[in-house]
Amino acid sequence: MPELPEVETVCRGLAAVLETRVLRHLELRRKDLRFPFPAGLAALVEGRRVAAVRRRAKYILIHLEDGGVLIAHLGMSGRMLIGPAEGLVLETHDHVVFHTDHGVAVRFNDARRFGFLDHARAEDLGRHKLLEGLGPEPLGNEFSGPVLAEKLAGKLAPIKAALLDQKIVAGLGNIYVSEALFVARLSPLRSAGTVSGARAEKLVRAIKDVLTRAIAAGGSSLRDYVQTSGELGYFQHQWAVYGKEGEPCPGCTCAHGILRIVQSNRATFYCAKRQR
DNA sequence: CGGCAAACCTGCGAGC
DNA sequence: TGCTCGCAGGTTTGCC
């Protein structure tokens, strides 16, 4: 499920029900997800009011009024589902439940358990092991052609791999990298270091365009639904290339159509004629 | 240091 | 119907 647009959608859903509310009870139904939950996590959260829900890269940051921050990551299969606490029915893989002071329950469901939950002080976030070193937010003003080109300079790895590296730009994942490279008409096989100048400008515009459209659509749903309401995101209907091996290229009349290759053990979709 | 494969864990669809 | 295999949106680790 979750790349930047999906995490952004989840954050907006969480903000609507959690901000200004007190977290009465943090129900930990196992002792770990990808990592063990930090010692005393429930006590660090219970009785605190939520000041704000924010996103950094693919991390959900739940700021508490006492300066503590809950850091959540959805991994590959994580979901946050909001519903009434009364008559709550837990489902398989509901590992954590947040209970608010106004009768709302948020279930953190994660079948594959690649997600996690951590706690930090707000003033320490910049030095948090998982957050330090993250590259710029792709939708922020600070993410520009020159900034990207500088990060890519000298890199021999394919541009596909570089864009998945969260130190270069934070929040892209496997789907949106293929989509952005298609919009920018750049081959995923091209060496990252050759993307500079006008090419870098074009790629930055493509990344911002794809992410903005995906957020507007509520993200993409594959097997899981994305939004906290349980509604489907529908950006998958706007994909140009992802998952479309063998289908006609939407941008040209090439005979081969959309190709699927494997880079760094992950599927890449592209048009070899339109993308150079 | 850079780049790549494998590992973490579970579910689902395709194919036999 | 039921089994096996391959593949899946992320990130870290370890190896060359």
Q: What is the per-residue DSSP string for A201-229?
A: HHHHHHHHHHHHHHHHTT---SSS--STT
Residue-wise pLDDT tens digits, A84-142? 999 999 999 999 999 999 999 999 999 999 999 999 999 999 999 999 999 999 999 99
Same domain, A153 and A259: yes
pLDDT at A1 over 70: no
CA distance A90 to A229: 16
Q: Which nucleotide is nearest to A193 (CA to C1')?
A: B2
CA distance A8 to A176: 14
For A222 and C8, how far is CA from C1' in angstroms? 9
**Phi, psi dihedral angles at A151 (to 5 degrees):** -70, -30
Strand C: which residues have Cβ below 7 Å from it?
A: A 1-3, 6, 34, 57-58, 73, 75-76, 112, 114, 130, 164, 166, 173-175, 219-224, 226, 266-267
Same domain, A63 and A28: yes
- Tell me whether residue A187 is in a domain: yes
Which residue's CA shows the smallest distance to C1' of B7?
A114
Strand B: which residues have Cβ below 7 Å from it?
A: A 77, 92-93, 111-114, 155-158, 161, 192, 223, 263-265
Same domain, A119 and A154: no
Same domain, A168 and A260: yes
Residue-wise pLDDT tens digits, A229-249? 667 788 888 999 999 999 999
Same domain, A158 and A237: yes
**Cβ(A13)–Cβ(A82) under 8 Å?**
yes
For A66 and C6, how far is CA from C1' in angstroms? 48
- The number of distinct structural domains making up chain A is 2
Domain range enclosing A17:
4-127
User: Which bases in strand C are touched by protein, i.e. have an atom under 7 Å from a CB?
Assistant: 7-12
Residue-wise pLDDT tens digits, A167-217? 999 999 999 999 999 999 999 999 999 999 999 999 999 999 999 999 998
Same domain, A156 and A66: no
Same domain, A14 and A56: yes
CA distance A219 to A226: 7
**Cβ(A3)–Cβ(A170) under 8 Å?**
no
- Tell me whether residue A276 is in a domain: no
Q: Is A157 exposed, middle or buried (0-12, 13-18, 19+ CB in 10 A)?
A: middle
Same domain, A155 and A57: no
Q: Which nucleotide is nearest to A58 (CA to C1')?
A: C10
Mean per-residue pLDDT, A5-23:
95
Looking only at the bridges linking them, the beta strands covering A116-121 and A59-64 are unpaired
Same domain, A181 and A223: yes
Distances (CA, A) of A143 to A69, A152, A168, A177, A258: 26, 13, 10, 16, 29
Same domain, A123 and A236: no
pLDDT at A219: 83
Report the first-to-last Cα separation within chain A, whole angstroms. 29
pLDDT at A33: 96
Active site residues of A: 2-3, 58, 266
- Here the CATH number for the domain that contains residue A171 is 1.10.8.50
- Here the CATH number for the domain that contains residue A73 is 3.20.190.10
Same domain, A200 and A244: yes
CA distance A16 to A11: 9
Q: Which nucleotide is nearest to A113 (CA to C1')?
A: B9
Q: Which nucleotide is nearest to A34 (CA to C1')?
A: B8
- Tell me whether residue A38 is in a domain: yes
Residue-wise pLDDT tens digits, A39-83? 999 999 999 999 999 999 999 999 999 999 999 999 999 999 999
